Structure 1
Amino acid sequence: MSGRLGEIESRIAATHQLDAVIAAMRGIAASRSHEAHARLAGIRAAAQTAGAAIGEVLAFAPEGAAAGSAAARDNASGGEVCIVIGTEQGFVGALNDELAGHALRHGGARACRWLLVGSRLASAAASRGLACAWSAPMVAHPEAVPPLAVRMTDAVYARFAGGMHATRVSVVSAQPGESRVRIAQRTLVPFDLTRFRVPPRPQPPLVNVAPARLLSGLVEFYVFVQLCEALMLSFAAENEARVRAMLAARANVQQRLSDLTQHYRALRQEEITSEIVELSTGGQAARRTTN
C-alpha cells in the first residue's frame, strides 16, 4: 500500500510541475500577443503616411495611372503568388491545418505559387499535397517582423523578375479574435490606386524624382508595410491561440490533479483503516493469550 501511495505522490508532484510549465507558457504567449498589438499602431501609421504620399503623387502623376491599375485588376486572370503565414511553434490547436485548408480552397483552379511562412504550416501543407515554391521560418519575436517582410517582398519580386506570368499576389494569414482565430485574405497585386484620396492641389509639390518612379517606390513600400501588418497580426493570433490552448490544457491538468488527489486520499484512508484493523486484531489476540 505504501508503495502505491508513493507512486501517486510522485505523479501528483509531476502534475504540479506540468501545471507550472503550462502557466509559464500561457504567460509568455499573452505577453507576446500584447506586444504585437502594441506595435500595430506604428505599422498602421506608416501605412497611412505612405497612402497619403501616394495620393499626393497621384495628384500630379501622368494621367492613366489609376486607370492602368483598374485595367490590371480586370485582367487578373493569370497565375497567382499566394503567401500563407502560419506558425513556427506548436500548441496552437488546428490553426495551421485551417490555414492550409483555406489556402487550397482559395487557390482553386489557379496556377498558384505558394510562399509559406512557418515550419508547422509547411508540414501541414505538405500533408495536403501542397508544394511550396519558397518558405521561411515564422518570427519568434515582434522585432523580427520587418526583416522577414523584406525577405518576403524580395521573394515576391524575384518571381516576377524570373519571368513568371502572375497577375495576382495575395496573403492568407490568421487574425486575432475575441473567441477564436479568424482566417483573412488580402490582395497585394494588382495594386488598387483608386482607394487613395487625391487631395486638390493648385500646383504640384517640388520633387526630385520622376512621378512614375516615385509612385512605384511608394507602392513597393506600401506593400512592404502591408506584409508587416499581416505578419504582426498573425503573430498576435498565433499567441492568442496558444493562450487558449494552454487554458484548455491547464483545465485538463487541474482535473487530473483533482482525480489523483482524491485517489491518494482514498488509498491513505484505506491504509489507515487497515492499520486500525491490524492493531485491533493484535490487541484482541494478546488479551486471549493472557487469559
Structure 2
Amino acid sequence: MDSLESLTRQITGAKELNSIVRTMKAMAAANIGQYERAMESLDDYWTNVSLGLVAYLKDIGLDNQDVRENENNSKGEKSICAIVFGSDQGFVGQFNDSLSQYVQESLSTHRGKLEIWTVGVRVPLLLADMGLTVTKEFNLPNSINAITALIGSILVQVEENRQNGNVDEYYLFHNHLVNEGSYEQEKLRLFPLDAEWRQEKAQLKWPTQKQPEVIGDSSKLIRRLIREYLFVTLYKTCTESLASENLSRLNAMQRAEKNIEELLDDIGHTYHRLRQSSIDEELFDVVSGFTALKND
C-alpha cells in the first residue's frame, strides 16, 4: 500500500507533467495558426501560378489535347519516386504510423523501380519495418522560414534525376487537414507535367471572358512557371504536413491532459482517504491513552 510520502511524490510529478503537457499544447495550437495562415496565402499563389500555366497552354493550343500520347509509355513499367513527409518529434499519435501504412498500401502494386525519399526521422524507421527501402532522407524544417531550404534541396535532387533519366514520375505523400480537428493521408502527383497533367490543369477556368495572351519569350515563361509550380506545390505540401503534425500533437496533448487530471483525481482521493485514516488512528490513540490515564 502506498504511503502518504509516496502519494505526495506522485501528485507532485503528475502536476509537473501536466504543466509540460499544457505548454506543449499551447505551442502546438500557436503553430497550427501560423501554418494555416501560410496555407491560405499559398492557395492564392498556387492558383495564380496554375492560371499562368493554363494561359500558356491555351496560347500554344495544348489546353484541349487528350492523353493518348502517353498510352505507349503506360504499357511499360515506370520508375517512380515517393516523397513522404513525416515528423521528427514524437507525441503525435498515429500521425506517422497511419501515413506509413498508407504509403505501403499505395506502393504495394508497383512493380517497377522505386525510390522513397523521406522528410523527418521517424517515417524511415516505420517504412523499413514494412520492408520498404528509403533511398534519401531530408531534415524536417522546424519553422516556416526553414521550409524554403528544404524545398530547394528536394528540387535539386529532382533536377539531377531528370537529367540522368532515373525517375519517370514523382508522388507526394503527406497528411493534410480536412476539417477542424482532423486530418487524413493524401497522395499527390508532382511530376512530370505531361498530357495527363495538362488535362487536369485544363479543368481550371480563366476568371474573365477575355482570352489570355502570352507576351515575350514563351520558352523562358514556361520554365519559370514550371519552376514556381513545383516549388509552391512542395511548399504547400510541407506546410500542410506541419499543420497536421501540430494538430495531431494538440489532440495527443489534450488526451494526455485528460488522463493526467483523472490520475490526479484518483491519487488525490487515495491520499485524502489515507490521510483521514491516519488522523483517525492518531485520535483513537489519544482517546485510548486519555481513557487509560483516567481509569488509573
Q: Same fold (TM over 0.5)?
A: yes
The answer on whether the counterparts of 2:181 and 2:247 sit within 8 Å (CA) in structure 1 is no
The answer on whether the counterparts of 1:175 and 1:233 sit within 8 Å (CA) in structure 2 is yes
- Relative to structure 1, is the Cα distance of residues 66 and 223 closer, same or farther in structure 2, using a 3 angstrom cutoff? farther
Describe the superposition over 1:129-150 as per-residue Cα deviations: whole angstroms up to 9, x where unpaired.
2211111121211222222122
Farther off after superposition, 244-253 or 155-164: 155-164
| Whole-angstrom CA distance in 1 between matches of 2:256 and 2:182 | 16
Mapping of residues 181-220 of structure 1, within 5 Å: 181-191=183-193, 192-194=197-199, 195-196=201-202, 197=204, 204-207=213-216, 209=217, 211-220=218-227
**How many Å apart are 1:86 and its aligned residue?**
0.6
Describe the superposition over 1:195-217 as per-residue Cα deviations: whole angstroms up to 9, x where unpaired.
1458687894431x3x2342133
Q: Which residue of 2 aligns with 1:176?
A: 177
| Whole-angstrom CA distance in 2 between matches of 1:83 and 1:202 | 37
The answer on whether the counterparts of 2:172 and 2:188 sit within 8 Å (CA) in structure 1 is yes
**How many Å apart are 1:73 and its aligned residue?**
7.7
Q: Which residue of 1 aligns with 2:118?
A: 116
| Whole-angstrom CA distance in 1 between matches of 2:211 and 2:102 | 48
Q: Which amino acid aligns with 2:189?
A: T
| Whole-angstrom CA distance in 1 between matches of 2:191 and 2:67 | 9
Q: Which amino acid aligns with 1:185?
A: K
Q: Which residue of 2 aligns with 1:223?
A: 230
Q: What residue ranges of structure 1 are gaps of 5+ in the alignment?
A: none
| Whole-angstrom CA distance in 2 between matches of 1:112 and 1:223 | 21
- Relative to structure 1, is the Cα distance of residues 6 and 29 closer, same or farther in structure 2, using a 3 angstrom cutoff? same
Q: Aligned pairs, how many?
A: 284
- Relative to structure 1, is the Cα distance of residues 87 and 66 closer, same or farther in structure 2, using a 3 angstrom cutoff? farther
| Whole-angstrom CA distance in 2 between matches of 1:202 and 1:115 | 40
| Whole-angstrom CA distance in 2 between matches of 1:202 and 1:35 | 37
Mapping of residues 1-291 of structure 1, within 5 Å: 4-61=3-60, 63=61, 67=65, 71-72=69-70, 75-76=73-74, 77-110=77-110, 111-164=113-166, 166-177=167-178, 178-191=180-193, 192-194=197-199, 195-196=201-202, 197=204, 204-207=213-216, 209=217, 211-289=218-296
The answer on whether the counterparts of 1:171 and 1:185 sit within 8 Å (CA) in structure 2 is yes
CA-based RMSD:
2.4
Percent of matched pairs sharing the same residue: 20
Q: Which amino acid aligns with 2:140?
A: M
Farther off after superposition, 119-128 or 224-233: 119-128
- Relative to structure 1, is the Cα distance of residues 101 and 48 closer, same or farther in structure 2, using a 3 angstrom cutoff? same
**How many Å apart are 1:107 and its aligned residue?**
1.0
| Whole-angstrom CA distance in 2 between matches of 1:268 and 1:117 | 53
The answer on whether the counterparts of 1:22 and 1:246 sit within 8 Å (CA) in structure 2 is yes
| Whole-angstrom CA distance in 2 between matches of 1:233 and 1:73 | 33
Q: Which amino acid aligns with 2:24?
A: M
TM-score (norm 1): 0.89
The answer on whether the counterparts of 1:59 and 1:198 sit within 8 Å (CA) in structure 2 is no
Farther off after superposition, 131-140 or 243-252: 131-140
TM-score (norm 2): 0.88
